[in-house]
């Protein structure tokens, strides 16, 4: 993912929606999928901040979350 391309600014929401798929994925795996450079650009390096942004997507109906058997929070795009 890149911070900005051709001068276009990307939002936290668009980046996070872009890494969600229909397969449930852990918060940690999504954090790694976004990548450090993009996390830094968006101010999402603190894990709690990253997780809070995912929770905002779920609250807005743009993502689904559930707790896996091992206690991990899993996220996926809305069908």
Quick one: pLDDT band at residue 35, thresholds 50, 70, 90?
very high
Quick one: pLDDT band at residue 79, thresholds 50, 70, 90?
confident
> Taking the domains of the chain in order of start, what are their residue ranges?
14-77
For residues 29 and 5, give the distance between their C-alpha atoms in angstroms, rounded to a whole number.
24
Q: What is the mean pLDDT of the chain?
A: 91
Quick one: pLDDT band at residue 52, thresholds 50, 70, 90?
very high
pTM for this one? 0.86
Mean pLDDT over residues 48-53, rounded? 97
Q: What is the pLDDT of residue 10?
A: 84
Q: Tell me the CATH class for 14-77.
A: mainly alpha
- CB under 8 A, 24+ apart: contacts of 25-30: 25/74, 25/75, 25/76, 26/68, 26/72, 26/73, 26/74, 26/75, 27/51, 27/54, 27/72, 27/73, 27/75, 28/72, 30/54, 30/75
């Amino acid at each position: 993912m890149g911070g900005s391309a051709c001068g276009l600014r990307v939002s936290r929401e668009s980046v996070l929606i872009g890494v969600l798929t229909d397969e449930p994925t852990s918060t940690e795996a999504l954090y790694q999928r976004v990548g450090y450079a993009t996390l830094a650009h968006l101010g999402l390096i603190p894990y709690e901040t990253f997780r809070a942004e995912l929770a905002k997507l779920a609250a807005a109906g743009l993502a689904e979350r559930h707790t896996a058997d091992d206690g991990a929070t899993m996220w996926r795009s809305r069908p």
